[in-house]
Structure 1
Amino acid sequence: MNVEQIYKDANALLEGHFKLSSGNYSKFYLQSAKVLEDPKTAKLLADALAEQIKKSGIKVDAVCSPALGGLIAGFALATALDVRFIFAERAEGEMTIRRGFEVKEGETYIICEDIITTGGSALEAAREVEKAGGIVVAYAALANRGFCSRVGSDIERKDNCKLPLDKPLFALEDFAFQMYTPDECDFKDIAYKPGSRGN
């Protein structure tokens, strides 16, 4: 499966001047929402991700995603794995599990995002699952931005990866685009801010 081509075909691999949620800048941006608006493509990608997880021998009771970006990817993965799906969301700036979702003591979870950059939001969602008594056994994403190491890739973990060392990350492809700090950025046009946090 050529995941990069799937993103290109969906006009979801954008080129320009982008300000990222981290405050850094990039000439490229992955807009997974454009890929996932087609249910057939979402199913295709989720099935491939589920196959990786099944081959690893990991079994889970549920998938949890941080809102907003991870919702469709997480739901599609839960469907492919035939398990329950819940999500965590920010309330007054803090990630929380609400809306009547229940995490049972000892339940096993995969935390799923559309894209893993440093894994900060995924880690926040994992902490909420664990606080409620669940056990996070792995992380998953359609795309890995190359800061965290994943199963099946030789990309080395960077210092700013926030995911725990003892839990595997499953993803379909690495997209290791160059990023620039505000001081390093010399783009001449105005930065576009497409991320879900609107910054």
Structure 2
Amino acid sequence: MANNINVTEILKEVGALLEGHFLLSSGRHSDKYCQCAKLLQYPEKAEKVLSVVAEKVKNLDVDIVLGPAMGGVIVAYELGRQLNKPAIFTERVDGKMALRRGFEIKPGQKVLITEDVVTTGKSSLETAEVIKELGGEVIGVCCITDRRNGADFEYPIYSAVELEVKSYNVEECPLCKQGLEYVKPGSRKIK
């Protein structure tokens, strides 16, 4: 299914690519935002987009697909479905990622982390720590949108699309300097 799928066009079609002034989950600011929830509300479109990622990872030795809540939960479910692997999720407990609800990772199991968007990879790295503490092995990180702009990352990233989007430290943000108010569309609480 992954052949000839224009992920950017699908994201535009569902209204997921936004412009303005945004506070990202990483704490950085940006003039663009990819609201993947707008894509994930359409299962058939999400299936198409995530088939691009599934094609990239189909030959990896994976036991479990795991998505950090909120953004990675539906992505984990759909990739798990396409790869025929169990799909579970971590969630924050007192501000720290944890595995709950009876989910398990056994020592030696190979885990693929899933996200909607990767900018700094903070949620993925927190989730990787949970996996390693339980004796699992992180194989890589899958996402719909990779917006790291080429920044190094500890694990291989498998994305449906790479978007070149500038992000700024608060102190350097030109949108703040213009006095534009920001919107915080993500789910993570930022101090």
- Provide TM-score, normalisation by structure 2: 0.90
Moved more, 181-190 or 66-75: 181-190
Moved over 4 A (4+): none
Superposed, which structure 2 residues align to 1:34-183 within 5 Å? 34-54=38-58, 57-147=59-149, 156=150, 158=151, 161=152, 163-164=153-154, 167-183=155-171
- Provide TM-score, normalisation by structure 1: 0.86
Moved more, 30-39 or 42-51: 42-51
Deviation at 1:22, TM superposition (A): 2.5
Instruction: Give me the whole-angstrom Cα distance separating, in 2, the residues matched to 1:30 and 1:117.
Output: 11
Q: Which amino acid aligns with 2:134?
A: A
Name the SS of the counterpart of 2:21 in structure 1.
strand
Q: Which amino acid aligns with 1:192?
A: V
Instruction: Give me the whole-angstrom Cα distance separating, in 2, the residues matched to 1:24 and 1:137.
Output: 27
Name the SS of the counterpart of 1:183 in structure 2.
helix
Name the SS of the counterpart of 1:70 in structure 2.
helix
Q: Which amino acid aligns with 1:95?
A: M
Cα deviation per residue 1:129-179 (whole Å; 9 max; x = unaligned)?
1211211111111110034xxxxxxxx4x2xx5x31xx3211111112112
- 8 Å CA contact 2:26, 2:119 repeated in 1: no
In percent, how many aligned pairs have the same letter?
39
Deviation at 1:91, TM superposition (A): 0.1
Q: Which amino acid aligns with 2:82?
A: A
Instruction: Give me the whole-angstrom Cα distance separating, in 1, the residues matched to 2:131 and 2:186.
Output: 24
Cα deviation per residue 1:15-56 (whole Å; 9 max; x = unaligned)?
1111122222111100000001001011112222111112xx
Instruction: Give me the whole-angstrom Cα distance separating, in 1, the residues matched to 2:172 and 2:111.
Output: 39
Corresponding residue for residue 184 of structure 2? 193
Name the SS of the counterpart of 1:192 in structure 2.
coil
Deviation at 1:189, TM superposition (A): 2.6
Deviation at 1:183, TM superposition (A): 2.6
Deviation at 1:184, TM superposition (A): 2.5
Name the SS of the counterpart of 2:171 in structure 1.
coil
Which runs of 5 or more residues in structure 1 are unaligned?
A: 148-155
Aligned residues: 183
Q: Which amino acid aligns with 1:25?
A: H
Instruction: Give me the whole-angstrom Cα distance separating, in 1, the residues matched to 2:131 and 2:23.
Output: 30
Which runs of 5 or more residues in structure 2 are unaligned?
A: none
Supply the RMSD in Å over aligned alpha carbons: 1.5
